[in-house]
Every structure is written in structure tokens, then in C-alpha cells.
Amino acid sequence: MRARVCVAVAWGLWAVGLAGQGFSLEGEAGGEARTWADASGKFSVRATLREKNETVVTLVTADGRVVEVPIARLSEADKTYLASLETPEDNPFAGGVPLAGMTDLVPQVGGTPTARPGIASPAVVELPSNTLADRRESASVGPTMALPGAGNAINLMGEPTEDVALGPDPFPAVSSVPAAAVPLPPTDAYDKLGGPILVADNRFVVSIGRNKSGSPEETRGRLAVVGLAKGSVDVVWDKPQALKVLGHHQPTGRTLIVDALDQFQRAGELVMLEGVAEGTPRELYRRALPGLGKAGFQPMVEWAQMLSGSHIAAIVDGQLLVWDLPAAQLLYSIANVRATEPPAFSGSQRYMAVPHGGSVSILETATGALVRTFETGQSVTAGVAFHPNGGFVAVCSSNQYLVWDWLEDRVVSQAVTTDQLGSFPIAWLNPTQFRTALGSVIDLDLGMPVWKYHLGAAASPHLIGNTLVTVATSPKATLVALAVPHPAAEQAMKKLMGAGDEAMLVRPGSKVAIAVEGVTGDDATAVEQALAAAAEKAGWKVSRRAPVTLVARIGRGEQQQLNYRMMGSGSRNTSTATLTPFTADLEIRSGQGVLWQRSSTNHVPSLLRLEEGETVQDAVTRYEKPDPGFFGRLQLPPRIPKPDVADQIGMSSLSNGTWMDIPAEIRNRNRARE
């Protein structure tokens, strides 16, 4: 009888097991070389991603070193890249039936855009006063108290209630701030920047926290208030504890920070301040995080937002906690919420959208009552952002987006795009355009990216009116405010809007041909069938002859040696196996030009099962086979513009406090690699 034995993977090492024994894999094949940077922007390395878990990535550098880097130390661009790798295997936005009377909607994938003035706003509904900001502030239980971390757990998989008043909660009109570039106090790689956060008209607070290992005398935390109109910088808080600013509530003038952070950005206490905007900060009270001081890793505030002058939502070690800070009370908690895709709030913060797994749930913020849940149809967690009208939510991941009318529970816009979009953050520029995590500006009327804004080594951007505000860290820390879209982008967008379907080289209904290279027989047939299915999902028609060809290629990579360590029974014996992986590549070609491409290589999985009598080499060899299913899992972009039109889809990079437009030939070369 043949037995299968499975062993677990520990600390990023791969493992196999047989009859109580096992081996851990010292290396892994695959991955593309890219430049990785740390959060400061000072250090970078050219390396290939070998392995990733929730907290650490393992990289193989160009000079042959294997390094483990905490994800928390990586740049925002690298974190977004890691999130974008979680590509779904099927299209959650395919299919659907158009709703009667909804002629103003962007079409389903595979449809044809119709002219319209934009997404219609939902009807205004008078709602009762039931936000946390409407509540009377609780009396403070003392200057220093510990916060609870358990109680009133909300089940996002439960049944939505019908007892909550629902209606659109639009964002108030906000004036744009002036364009500016204001240098911050000098920083280096050991300084952690927080913010920028708007505290008053044209004034922002930025935190600079420092906790250098082995140099406790350098530990300090500063708050700088930056005035864009005058280019002023005032350091209003300078104390010997590392800190990070988390939020500000303008109606009450209160600012939330976490201070006394260790070198891993953990530990610390939540501190409520007032008077920061005026340059005279005063501490109101402190609240210790749950688990502070216990053995092991200290708690970490991964994300936070103020909901009133006294209530906050915070993600602490993967748990969303909503607290009444003066009373030191937990209103409710939600498990397994990721700081990389945090909740989003409607205009007055009446409603909260929480992404989790393949779903997005809407809750009443004040009570935690579940009112809506939307299944995205994929396993990865998406980024979310409420539309300016407060009744819609943008949902983004990988190269797909949708806009969900959560009040009516219907999708009003969706598309698969040629760009990788990422997940969080999403920022609405206007009612029909939003900027995605990886910088693409999506136009809902066209159903495609129309520009790309690359921020490089910069903090998470905030959009205020039509101004993007961020902290650039290279070549030196600078608070930057820039118009989005800027004039060059606006002009290009107008041209694209006027071009129509004739500007598309491929669009739903277009004919495409399929060519398979590198394999014959049944494998070639399987590849062709899988690719034909993917093309049909995009709305294309497969033909023997067409101006656009989908070229699928199966090849072999370089032979690699894999070293295994025996596990179990106290043995440390090692074993070696070789792997020559199969590669799978797809190019969408028009003539000699490559319009779009994707590639993959097969890997030994993280759980390797040995059949009885197999050697490690036998087990590895089982994975040396082509993967025709790769082509069926691809999400093909239904609309690809002609090259001359694609040249109008520009890219701008943040450089020295201004937008630097990237020439078309460089943009196209970069797009071909995505």
C-alpha cells in the first residue's frame, strides 16, 4: 500500500517527509530580478524573490547572497508589489446580466463603452445622528490606563442586519491645498517618517521617530508642523522617545500619536494630544496597548484612524479594534484584518468598508453592525475606498477593479486592465477617476488606465481636493503637494476620451489568433484550449487568421540544485536534488510589436509529499512538467489601445518635488515588462 506523508513548513523553509523523516529545502527556483529598497530609500539591492510569508521576504541577491528582510522594513512600493503577486486564478468580474434601465453604467467586461456623464449619485436620504462624532465624550478614567484587547467580536461572515438606517454618506467639499515642496528637518535611514496628516488649512503634521539599535542616546521623536502656503516648518514636539503620528481630528483639534516605540516599531503607548496645529501640543492622556510588557514580541499598531476626538479604529497585530480612549473601553473587535488592505470610511465615517479574503463588508461604524457583504469571487484581499458620493466603493486587486453600489448591491463599473493596479491605497480624483496603489489612474468612462503617477520612495499619498500630498524621502525628506491630474495628463485624457473604440487595437468582439510554441501533441492542444477560454472571457473571438496573435510558449529554465535538510528524529542529514523547471510565456503581438506579456515557471510546492519508496529526487521530478493551465488562469485585458494611442497614456514620476513626465519609449518599455 502506498502511503503519503505530509510535514509542515517552518520559518520559510520548504519541507518534505517520509515515514517520520523529512527534509527542508534550502533554495527555490523562479522569480524575476528587480530592485528592492528599504523604507528610508537609502538602501537598495538587485535581487530575486525566493519566499514570502506574513512578515518576512527571502531574497537572492545578484551577487549570490540569501537575505531575509522584514516586510515592515521594505519601501511602500515593494510592499505594494508583494501584494500584487497574489493574482487570482479566475476573473471575479466576468459574466453578469445588465440591470434594466441602467443605461448610464460602464459595461460589463466584454461590452462596449457607452457615452455617459459619469456615475449617477444615489438619492439623498436623511439619516439619524449616529456617528461616533455625535456622541458625548466619555469622562477620562485617568492619565494612564491599559486598553482591553478582547470582547464583542464581530463576525463578518454573519447575516447582515436590517435594523440600521442606510443611505449615501458623501464626503464634504474640500478645497485643494497649494502646490509646494517644503524640505523637512534632516533625516537618515534610521529615522521613520509618519504622515503627512492635515491638521488645519494648508498645514500638515509629520512625525520623525528614531530608535537606532545600539545607540540609545540617539533615540528621539519629533513632530513637525509644515505650512504649505509659507513653506514653514516648526518642530513642535521633540522628546527622547521614538514616535509615529497616527491621525488628527480637526473639529476637536486633537492628534493621536504612538510613542516609546522600539527599533521594530513595536510597543509604545497611544497618546492623545491637543494644540499640535497651533504649535503648543499638550498631552491629555496615555493608553497602553493590549499585551504591552508581556514576554515575546510587543504589540504593534499597524494602522489607525481617528473616528472622533476620543474614538479610534486601530489594527494591532492583525486585529481591528475600535476603542473609546478616554473610557479605556473596547467597543468591538474584528479578527484577521490586514493593515496592507485596511478599512475605508464614508464621508462622515458613518459606515466602514472592511476587506477580508474574497469579500468586502460594510458596517455601521458606531455599533459594528454588519449591513452588507459583497463577494468579490477571489481569494485575495482587495483594497477599498468609498466614492465621493458615499454610496459606492472602489474595489481593487491585481489587474482588476470594480465599483460597487453597496446600497443597491450591484456593480456599476468593472474591468480587467493592462496594468497591475495593486490593492491599497486607492484615491478618488473625481467622480469618474481614481488612482490605484501602483499609480495607474483609472477612468470609468473608458474602463482603462489613462495615466500613471509613480511616487518612488515616498510615504502613502493623501488626496486633498485635486492635490496629492506625500512625503518624498529621496534625495531628502520633503513634504510635496502636487496637482493630480496635472496639465499634461489632462490634455492626454481629453484626447483619449475623444478617440472612442477606433483607438483600440483589441477590444471586445475583436478577432485574435493563437500560436503555440515549444510543445506538440496533447500538451499543445491543452495550451490552445486554455488560452482560447481565456480569450473568450475577455470577449475576444478566436480565429485562424487575425491581426493580433496570442503567442504561448513552453520552455525550460536553467537547471538548479536544491539542497534539503532532513527533518524528524533529530537527524540533520541532507539530500540534494536538481530541478529544470518548465517556463510558460504569453505575448500578445501585433506584427513584431509586443502589446502585453506574462510569464511563469513551475515550482516545487511548499508542501512536498513523498510516495512510499520515492527519493527526494523522484518527488522533485514529478513537478518537472509543463503547466497548460497557466494560460487559462490568465486575466487578459479586454481593451488594448493602438500604439499611437498608447503613447498618450503617459507616466509621471515624482522627482525633486515636481512631476517629471517619462518619454513614451521608456514608458512602453516598462509596460512591456509588467
| Domain of 584, in residue numbers | 504-561+580-610+621-644
Structure-model confidence comparison of residues 537 and 145, the more confident one = 145
Predicted confidence at residue 492, as pLDDT, reads 85
Structure-model confidence comparison of residues 51 and 112, the more confident one = 51
| Mean pLDDT across 517-542 | 90
- pLDDT at residue 381 is higher than 60: yes
Predicted confidence at residue 389, as pLDDT, reads 93
Predicted confidence at residue 664, as pLDDT, reads 66
How far apart, in Å, are the Cα atoms of 626 and each of 110, 398, 532, 563, 586?
Answer: 30, 24, 18, 23, 14
- pLDDT at residue 125 is higher than 80: no
Distance CA 297, CA 292 (A): 9
Sheet arrangement for strand 344-345:
344-345, 351-356, 359-364, 370-375
CB 436 within 8 A of CB 442: yes
Give the residue among 578, 525, 577, 592 at the shortest CA–CA distance from 554: 525
CB 429 within 8 A of CB 460: no
Confidence band, pLDDT 50/70/90 cuts, at residue 75: confident
Predicted confidence at residue 109, as pLDDT, reads 33
Confidence band, pLDDT 50/70/90 cuts, at residue 111: very low
Least-confidence region, from 137-151, 218-232, 483-497: 483-497
Distance CA 358, CA 335 (A): 15
* pTM beyond 0.85, yes or no: no
DSSP category for residue 23: E
Torsion of CA 182, 184, 189, 193, to 10 degrees: -90
Residue 560's H or E segment, with its range, is strand 560-567
DSSP category for residue 620: H
Least-confidence region, from 109-123, 203-217, 546-560, 602-616: 109-123
For the chain, percent of residues with pLDDT exceeding 70:
85
Structure-model confidence comparison of residues 62 and 162, the more confident one = 162
**Residue 518, domain member (yes or no):** yes
Instruction: Give backbone dihedrals phi and psi of 563, rounded to 5 degrees, phi first.
Output: -105, 130
**Residue 212, domain member (yes or no):** no
Confidence band, pLDDT 50/70/90 cuts, at residue 63: low
- pLDDT at residue 118 is higher than 60: no
Predicted confidence at residue 3, as pLDDT, reads 38
Predicted confidence at residue 652, as pLDDT, reads 92
- Residue type at position 359: S
Confidence band, pLDDT 50/70/90 cuts, at residue 366: very high
- pLDDT at residue 11 is higher than 90: no
Distance CA 113, CA 140 (A): 56
**Residue 73, domain member (yes or no):** no
pLDDT tens digits, 12-48: 333 344 433 334 344 333 345 677 888 877 777 777 7
Distance CA 103, CA 587 (A): 35
Distance CA 558, CA 601 (A): 11
Confidence band, pLDDT 50/70/90 cuts, at residue 572: low
- pLDDT at residue 4 is higher than 60: no
Distance CA 495, CA 483 (A): 20
How far apart, in Å, are the Cα atoms of 404 and each of 163, 391, 444, 539, 540?
Answer: 22, 9, 12, 22, 25
For the ranges 94-98, 466-470, 520-524, the maximum mean pLDDT occurs at 466-470
Structure-model confidence comparison of residues 432 and 670, the more confident one = 432
Confidence band, pLDDT 50/70/90 cuts, at residue 419: confident
Give the residue among 427, 351, 343, 414 at the shortest CA–CA distance from 119: 414
Predicted confidence at residue 260, as pLDDT, reads 92
What is the total count of domains within the chain?
Answer: 1
| Mean pLDDT across 178-193 | 91
CB 146 within 8 A of CB 288: yes
- Long-range contact pairs involving 273-276 (C-beta distance under 8 Å, separation at least 24): 273/237, 276/199, 276/205, 276/223, 276/225, 276/236, 276/237, 276/248
pLDDT tens digits, 320-361: 999 999 999 999 999 999 999 999 999 999 999 999 988 999
**Residue 168, domain member (yes or no):** no
Confidence band, pLDDT 50/70/90 cuts, at residue 52: confident
Predicted confidence at residue 491, as pLDDT, reads 87
| Mean pLDDT across 239-255 | 95
CB 579 within 8 A of CB 605: no
β-pair partners for 359: 356, 375
Furthest-apart CA pair in the chain: how many Å? 80
Distance CA 545, CA 368 (A): 57
For the chain, percent of residues with pLDDT exceeding 90:
44
**Residue 293, domain member (yes or no):** no
Confidence band, pLDDT 50/70/90 cuts, at residue 609: low
- pLDDT at residue 148 is higher than 90: yes
- pLDDT at residue 197 is higher than 90: yes
CATH of the domain at 632: 3.40.50
**Residue 542, domain member (yes or no):** yes
Predicted confidence at residue 599, as pLDDT, reads 80
Predicted confidence at residue 573, as pLDDT, reads 65
**Residue 557, domain member (yes or no):** yes
Look at strands 180-183 and 191-200 and give their pairing. unpaired
Average pLDDT, rounded, for the chain: 82
Distance CA 370, CA 390 (A): 17
Predicted confidence at residue 57, as pLDDT, reads 84
Predicted confidence at residue 399, as pLDDT, reads 85
**Residue 593, domain member (yes or no):** yes
